[in-house]
Amino acid sequence: MKQKLWITLLTYLAYCVDKELYKAIDYLKEQVRVLLEQQERQNKRILLSNSQRMRVAAKAKKLSRKMLEQCTVLFTPDTVLGWFRKLIAEKYNGSQNRGKVGRPQISQEIVILVIRFKEENPRWGYQKITEQVVYLGYNISTSTVKNILIENGYDPEPDLTVKTTWWEFIKSHWDVLAACDFFTVELLVGRKLIRCTLFFVIKLSARKVFFAPIKPQPDGDYMKQAAKILTDYEDGFLKGKRYLIHDRDPLYTSEFHSILKSTGVKPVKLPPRSPDLNPYAERFVKSAKEECLNHLVLASVKQLEYAVNQYCEYYHHERIHQSLGRIIEPIHKTNEDAEIVCIERLGGLLKSYHRLAA
């Protein structure tokens, strides 16, 4: 009997509490409606900050779906629950700690390298260029190289229409090529001018020059002796060369040719009136005369030999060759901090400037 009485009492109290609670909820809802009507009159939307949304969502999560529908006026239950789901997602969001996504950006160094290979080797396609770039230590795919070429206006496929130029042809063979020629210098002996003929050989690849012993009027015996000097087994100037280019001067006798052929050097006789086919030898003659010999009055063969030797030293070790982009064999050790020194030859006719080591 007492137990039933307590249950009845608790039920009544719960009813009273729920009744007061529902009245409180109705009162709060009515206040919200009044605020909402006032907001609509001003034609303004209700905008909440992230912090306000989080607060509302945290409170809404504690209510049941039915109670939430009864209490919510400003927002729908789905909107409030959506805010709560977003709050959970932000808690476990690790995107700030995530590294960069996607393919890494291609460095400008690789782009420049790919374009350089294509410009210098038009017969190369994107596959061969890729192999060369990878060989140099870069990590890159064929599709990336292909896209680089297309973006910069180049055909990624090899250009098979490119023809070999004479420059490319000579350059690919000039390690085995040498050329020779004669030129004359006038000597003032007493009151007479005596013509002296000089014979020289030049290596095309290295631009090294060798002068045979000077004889004012060379003949067949002189040429035979010059051929023996040039083809000496141990230190001949033509050692390792296979072809010697020369013009149709009668001094290139059959004996001269025989000595060359016996050592594996094939003489190549040029067509008549074609000095342009021996450009390196012709250019050396012009350089030697314009830079040195045309500015001297020589009175003997010994003076001529001295002048030629001095010019060869200058030509090989001090003169900058534009076609090679450097000095052939620098004999002066350079030091970037050292003073610039002028080296003079032939009384200052030939000058060069170097930084010499202390």
265 and 198 in a common domain? yes
The pLDDT assigned to 120 comes to 84
pLDDT of residue 254: 93
pTM for this model (two decimals): 0.59
Average pLDDT, whole number, for the chain? Answer: 80
- Cα–Cα distance, 96 to 139 (Å, whole number): 28
pLDDT at 304 over 90: yes
User: End of a domain among 89, 119, 142?
Assistant: 89
Domain total in the chain: 4
CATH value at residue 313: 3.30.420.10
Task: Flag whether 98 is in a domain.
Answer: no
Per-residue pLDDT reduced to its tens digit, 127-168: 889 988 888 888 888 889 999 999 998 888 887 776 767 667
Least trusted range by pLDDT, from 29-38, 107-116, 232-241: 29-38
Please tell me whether residues 31 and 125 are part of one structural domain. Answer: no
Task: Based on the fold, state whether residues 202 and 335 are members of the same structural domain.
Answer: yes
Can you read off the two tokens belonging to residue 281? 């030898």
Q: Is residue 211 part of a domain?
A: yes
Report residue 63's pLDDT band, with 50, 70 and 90 as the boundaries.
Answer: low
In DSSP notation, 178-228 reads EEEEEEEEEEEETTEEEEEEEEEEEETTT--EEEPPP-SS--HHHHHHHHH
Residue 99 lies in a domain: no
Residue recorded with tokens 């999560």: 61
Domain that holds residue 137: 108-151
Contact 303, 186 (CB under 8 A): no
One domain, residues 275 and 176: yes
CA distances from 5 to 11, 99, 250, 324 (A): 10, 68, 147, 117
Kindly state whether residue 164 falls inside one of the protein's structural domains.
no
Q: Cβ neighbours of residue 206 under 8 Å, at least 6 residues apart? A: 328
The answer as to whether 241 is a domain residue is: yes
The answer on 333 and 198 residing in a single domain is yes
What does the pLDDT average to over 83-110?
73
Question: Does some domain include residue 277?
Answer: yes
- Are residues 114 and 141 located together in one domain of the fold? yes
Q: Report the half-sphere exposure of 333 (CA within 13 A, side-chain side).
A: 2
Residues 136 and 232 placed together within one structural domain of the fold: no
Domain-terminating residue out of 57, 89, 121: 89
- Local structure of 245: helix, strand or coil: strand
Both 179 and 303 in a single domain? yes
pLDDT (0 to 100) of residue 44? 64
Residue 9 has pLDDT above 60, yes or no: no
> What confidence category does residue 36 fall into, taking pLDDT thresholds of 50, 70 and 90?
low
What is the DSSP pairing of strand 243-246 with strand 177-189?
parallel
As to burial, measured by CB atoms within 10 angstroms (0-12 exposed, 13-18 middle, 19+ buried), residue 317 is middle
